[in-house]
Structures are given as structure tokens and as C-alpha cells.
Chains A and B, each alone.
Chain A
Amino acid sequence: MTSVLALAGNPNCGKTTLFNALTGARHHVANWPGVTVERRSGYIEVKGQQLEVVDLPGTYSLAARSEDERIAATFLAEGQVDLIINVLDASNLERNLYLTTQLLELGKPIVFVLNMMDDAERHGIQIDIPALETLLGGPVIPTIGNRLTGTDALKAAVMGVLKGADPKVRDFEAETAGHGPMDYGHDIEGEIEKLMAHTRRDEDLTRAVRPRWLALQLLEGGPEALKLAQESHAREAITAQLDESRKFLHSHLGEDAATLLAEHRYGFLHGLMLEVVTLPQAPPESHTSKLDRLLTHRYLGIPLFLVVMVAIYTLSFVLGKYPQDWIDAGFKGLAAFLAAKLPAGELTSLLTDGIIPGVSAVIVFLPVIMVLMGCISFLEDTGYMARAAFIMDRAMHLMGLHGKSFIPLLMGSGCNVPAIQATRTIESKQDRLITILVTPLISCSARLQVYIVIAGTFFKPFGAALAILAMHFLGFGLAMLMGRLLRSTLFSGPSAPFVMELPPYRMPVLKATTIHMWDKAQVFLTRAGTTIFAGATLVWFLSRYPGIANTGWNQEYQQQRVAVLALHVSQSEKDEQLKNLDLARESRIVNHSLAAALGKKVEPFLRPILDPDHKRTEAWKDVIALTAGFVAKEIVVSTMAVIHQASEAPKAGERLSPLQVALRDKTGLTPLTALAFMVFTLIYTPCLGTVAMIRREAGSWGWAGFSVAYGLVLGWLLAWGTVVFGRMMGFV
């Protein structure tokens, strides 16, 4: 039989480090059913006994309302938990023990881990461990900060308690005639009794959760308890009693029940602290205070924060670019090699134009995801992430966002995909969703490549630079507006409280950062990778069929090839001609593909933007490029090169590439419609990778669909606005 151990504790108490120390890399990450909160669990074996360790989301209380905390509360109260490991930060014991007072009410075996003992000792805090064991009624295992020296002692204690062989375990129920270690006083205990009398009538309910726990949670207004009561057949009696009890307590004790319970718990803890903890007379100034004098300094705080941001950005997107380029070049080389070796045809094309680029489109994100997630995990573990939120919250709050939204938004200008993954650090679901939905508006480096080609074609160098800069400002401004708009419409409920702990600075463990990076990479590959791959293959299909299966064209192409090979010219001349032949064939296939048919259908909708005078005959080709750009925005450029049968690489000594010349001379785009095209490219839809990530992080296809839809509408409106406004100003 496998016993289930649940790790419970406040955020920042070192729970996840302990989890890593217990399970090593032998764990897996998934989501809790139906929500986007990560569930990490792993198996270990101690003395032949199989143990499943579940790392619960950090929580300050079991009555809290945030998604993370509800999961922890439900799992602990109802789940098949055999033993709770309650991790406590010794340097912040009183507040950490608040959760403990609630855990004790669950009536399940608990082993306490007193973590960060070194921190406590450095601050001159002395803790009487035997006294604490007596008061909490269970073994207390001291561990030292991040090195976790007590792991073996912890395993031994867990086994002892599971076997019922630990003399430190107190049976509060027997000792105190029913109520647990906490006595809430005559009035409250009386109401608990009355409530229990009603809930006990429902036997299923009594089996599911401990009646005393349920009564306390009902009084406190815990959402899970209220839900359980609503589902019970005794709900009317319970609700009536609950109303009566609350009224009675309010009139007799002058406060609502939740406040009274919290006051009693902190009262109990105040007494406990006096008995167990010796605080120093004059506490030495901590490292944290010294560091914070600099890092959250009134004038230096923001510049230092920006330095940190520049460093992370450089690491992720400048250094991360190298492995990205190698991966890209590697896959391109592989595709070219196979294309040369294999006979031209549908299967080869599926492999070289469909599958290989599809896999490449997934793998290419890995370096930047791992580096950025590593940096963010590092910032979180040091405690700086909370300071970053503290510094930026005012500015972000104006945008309807949270202080922690800043980092995803900034990193979005490198790549939206890891930026959306980085929203995980935002605890409140509302704030996270808004951030996820506005991040795609931030112009990323892939879109920059499109701007460079288009702006370089239609504007003088200075004007082009201005246009490109304008796109970035537009993206940021839109993110700000949409943030406010979403906050006041879809997410108009009260915003989550910004009651955020500023934990002490700590040195992160390299192992934890590495495990975190690996987890994130794994999650990306399995959850988002499949979507990206499927989407890339679909776009390949749309842009190749039916032309690629046209035998007539294939024969024609083969004959032309043979003809070229038979020419009496130099090898380089032949290569040049063969290249042109390939481009011509590809161009023909794409221009007669399903995507082209789609483009012709969709083109009328985009006419006000791309072809306001209805003079262009080939505006539908832009639609093909935009469709292909859905896979990744930089593909817009390479697709245009194929459609217009012109190379992207400029010839020696010329400013414009053949593609740019073709765009300028043949397509009928004007500087104004080209600008509108850029605006549309910025907004029209997040790329496939981003959509896949939105689905994964927002937890539903609904939000992913919403972001595509609002992108299309907003992009159309703004591109149209660009044309209309531009014409009013006299541009063409």
C-alpha cells in the first residue's frame, strides 16, 4: 500500500526545496484537474514502504479563496492524505504556525519540519523544540535552510508516525474531549457543537470530512465547506444553524466569526511563542534589510531593477539566440539534405516542408524557454521577484495589471511564448489571465523581421526606423489599453488583494533552478509542442495542396530540370538556374494552393486595409503570407519570397533584396498600405506557439480562441484606421 504524504506550508517556506530533496528528479508535473495550478508529485521508498509525496501550492490559510489555496485545502481535507508534512519557516514562526492551527483541526497525523533554522539562529531566535513538540503534538524535525540536512531524520519520523510508533504524537481528541488542540472559548465552542449536530445527520458528509473541521470552516466562510454543505441533504438545517450561529457570535462578541477565529488562533500562537521562542533583545539588522535599503531604494530601486531586467533579457534573447540559430540551421540543413537525396514528391515535401520545420518550430523555443525560466526561478528563489513586483506595482496597476505582470510584458518583446509561460509567477488568476491576454500585443523579435523587410522597402532609412519604433510603441500602448479595458469589463470583479510577503533574501540552490528549467521545458514540449506541431503541419497542407500532387506540373518540372542539366554552361550557372526552377515550382504550387483559394475568399474583408482603391490584382497573396505567418510571424517574409518568386537575400552592392524590389514594383502596395500591413501583422493574431501557450496557461481553448478573435478584430480596426487617417493626412 502506498501512503500519501502531502507537503503543506506557507509560500516561501522552502517546501519545494524539501520536495526536491525528497524526490530528486523522480517526480512529474501536471495540472490539478480542471485548473492551471501545477501539481508536482513523486514516489519514494523508505524501508520497503512506497510513499507518494505531493507538493501542494503554498498557502497562508485553509479558508482562503484563491485557486491555489482552495486546491491545497480541498486536497488536505478530503483527499486520501495519510500524513501531512507541515513545513515551517523558523525565522517567521508565528505567521507560519497560523496555517498549522488549521491543519491540526483536520485530525490527521502531522510531522512538522522546522526549516531555515540557520536563518533563525543568525537572527538570534532560539526555539525550544521539545516544548514545541509537546504543544503541537507531533515530531518537529529541524532542517537547515537550503542544504536540508534533516531529510533522513524526516523520513524516519514519517515512518514512525505512519506506524503509530511515535510517542510524541498526542491524541488531542481523547485528551480534550472532542475539541482539538485549540479551544475557541465557551461561546464559539457552543456554536461549533450546534453546527456539528446538524452536519452529523449527513453520514456521507461526516465520512468525507471531520465534522469539527467542517463546522469551523463553515463559520469562517471557507468556500469549499460552504459548497459541501450546499450539496448535503441536510443543507437547510445546516444553513439555518449557520446563520443563527453567526448572528449570535456577532451580537455576543462584537465581531464576525472569521475575525473571532483568527483572533483566537493568533492568541493561541502568541502564548505558544512566549513558551517556545526566545527572541533576541536587540535583533541585529538582517542581510535582507541591508540589501533592501539598496534594492528598493527610492531613487536607486528602479534603475537597479532595470539593470536586472536588461541582464535577463540579454541572457535569454541575445545569448539564447545562438543555440536557437544552431537548431534552426541544423533542421534547415537536414531538410535540404533530405530534399536533395529523396525524389521530389508529396512524401518528401511532407517530411522536408511539413514535419521537419514543424519539429523545428517547437524545438527552437527550448533554449529561450529554459534560460528565461531559469532566470525567473532564480529571481523567485532569491526573493527579488517580490521586490520587482513591489517596485513596478504602481505603474502596472495603472494598466489594470499586477506588479508581477511587468516581467512577462517586457520579455514578450523578445518572444511571447516564454513570456506567457512566465505569467505563472502571478498568483491571482484574474491578474494572470489579463496579463496572458495582453502579452501578445507586445511586438516580438519575429515581427521585427517582417517590419524590417516591409519598412525597408517602402520608406527611407530614417522613416523605416521611425515606423519600426512606432510599431513597438503601438504594441505597448495597446497592451496598456486592453489591460484597462479587460479589467473594467470581463474581469470587473474586485481585484485580488496585493497583500504580498517580501520574503528574506536567500541564496537559491542551483539544483532547484535546474529542476525548474527542466520541468518547464518538459511541460512546453508535451503540452504546447503537440499543438504547434499539428498547426505547422496543417499550414503546410494548406499551402501545398492540391498543387504538389499535380502530376502534369511534376513532369513539367522534371523535364525542365533535365533540360537545365543538359545545358553546356558552368556548374554555378546550372545551380543558379536549378534554384530558380525550384522557386518557380514552389511559387506555382503555393499560388494555386488551398491557402491561395482561402486568400481569394478572405481578401475582400481585408480590402479596406490592403487595397483601399481596389486596384491591386494580387492582394490575396498577402493573405497567404499572413496565413503562413500564423505558424511564426517571421515566416511571413519567407512566404512572400516564395509567392513573389524573389529571393530574400540582397545581391551584392544593392540596398534592396529582389523580394523587396518585387514588393515595391509588382504588388501594388503603397507606403500607406504597407504601414497598414505592418500594423495588421503586429496585432492580427498571436502566433501558433503563443496560442498553444495561452491555451496551456489559461487552461482552455476558449481563451486561446478569444485572443485570436480579438487580435483579428483589433488588428483590422487599427490597420483600417491607419489607412483612413493616413489618407486624411494626404498620404497614399
Chain B
Amino acid sequence: MTNIWNRLRHEPWIWSFLAAIGVWLATIAYTGGQGAGEILTAALSFATFSIIVGLGQMMVITTGPGNVDLSIPATITLAGVVAMKVMDTDSARLLLGIGAALGASFLVGVFNYGLIRLLRIPPIIATLSSSFLVLSTAISYGRGIRIKPPLPLDSFATMRILGIPLAAVFVLVLSIVLAIVIKRTLYGRAVVAIGQNPRAAWLAGINVNRTRFMTYVLSALLAGVCGILLSGFSGGAALNMGEEFLLASIAVVVIGGTSVAGGRASVPGIWGAALFMYLLVTMLNTFGASAGVRLIMTGVIIITVIVLAGGETQSK
């Protein structure tokens, strides 16, 4: 037992899970055990979306300092709007809609890296400015019209088996695949190597530009997947559906123990952090904390978790 703990506590992601379990226990202690299972089910359903975009953001951040994708919220909205409009509530057009939404997301990724590489704009500015263009496209294409998702998408996004959301299972598979990609494939190892030292990676014969390009495209595609699922889950696409994922996508990466300086990714940490973020808000809502107190507490607790996780790695 102590052996396991000694091994685990050096993992950067363990703290996000401990924090998630901690706030969950505090919540059900307050309610006297009422709703313990339902809270977990809700947390899994909603964390799913942060996890998808968190995975993309994690890959981008891992490619090194200064790399971040701020166009994720706009891409989510664009993908949701395109998917709903192309599908037009018709189940037969489901695949067409998914294809169109992912195609649009792919173009966003290509465009982002085009700005970064060809025009030499820093990623933070490039993705922020492209997000204005992307959101404007979504606004003029969708005109704010809320079209319901076709039934298969709706049921896929909302279905539960024994309290476990089907979408969460899908994202679990996605996460495992990505974890294997990072550990075992040339592309994954190249991302980590570039994050640790781009020059060394280049001298070692890694195609730095192609790897970065693929990473920005991957992030955009994952944002697209999130947009499609989210519009299925909440009964249609809305112009502000992506808004909350700007901070969330970065927060889950940082809390989850991925190095902000790049070169170290943690897939399980994304899960712990996404569950933690959702459960934290649930806990403070359950306690009846006012908005001000809630924001302060959220800030304090997030800093505590990051310090704990960071302190462990430094002592190593």
C-alpha cells in the first residue's frame, strides 16, 4: 500500500484526482449523502467536454513555451453551428454534418498554423485573432438560429448506461488512444521532444514544423468534436456555447500536471482536473456560496492544487 502511494505521489496528475475526490466528499458530507451518485454522473457528463478540448490544448502546450490555442471556443461554436445546419435535424445527413464540421475545424487548424508559420505571428496573438474571424464566420453562417440535433446524435450525447454517460466512454477511448500516441508513436515523441528543446529535436532530425502543424490541426479537430457533441447534448448550437472553454481548456491542462513550459504531457491529469473543476463549482453551489466567495474560493483552491503538484515535482 505504501509502495503504491510512494509511486503515485510522484505522478504529476495524482493531485488533481485527490482534489476531485476531496471536493466530492465535502459535497456529499454537506448533503448528508444525498445525490452522491447523481453528482458523479453529472460531473462525468460535463467534464467530457472539457476533457476533449483539454487534450488538444495539452498537445499544443506540450510543444513548448508560447504555444497555446486560444481559438478553441470559436472553433467549438463554428463546428456546432456547421454540424447542426448541415444535418438540419435529418438523421440521414448525420455523417455529412460531422464531416462538414470536422472539415471546417481542420481549416481553422491549418489557418492558425499558417498565421504562426508563414506570417511569423506569436501563437497567442495568431490564434486569438483567428478566433475573431472564426466566430464571425459562425455568426454570419448560423445567424443565431438554434437547430435541434438529429435523434441519433442527441441520444449518443445524452445516453447513459448504468449511470455512466456513453460520451464519457467515447472520450475515455479517445484519451487512451492519445496516451498511446504520445508514448509510442513517432509523432507523439516528436511533440514531447520539441517541447523540451526544439533545437535539439531539429538536430536529431525531427521535422519541427510538420509536428507543430499537426498539433494545431489536432487541437482544432478536437475542438470540432467537442462542438458536435456539445450541440447534441444541449439540444442545438448557440453562438456563445464555446465561451467557457477558453479558460477551462487551459486550466485542466495546468491543474492536470502538464508542464506549462512544454515537454511533458499528462492525459490522466486532464480527467482529474476536469472532474475537479466541475465538482468544485458544484460544491460551492451546494454550500450556497455567493458569486464573489465562489470566485475567490475557486482561485484559491486551484492555486493550492497547482502548488502542491508543482512542489512535488521540484522535490523530485
Q: Do A and B come from one complex?
A: no
Residues of B bordering A, CB below 8 Å: none
A positions within 8 Å CB-CB of B: none
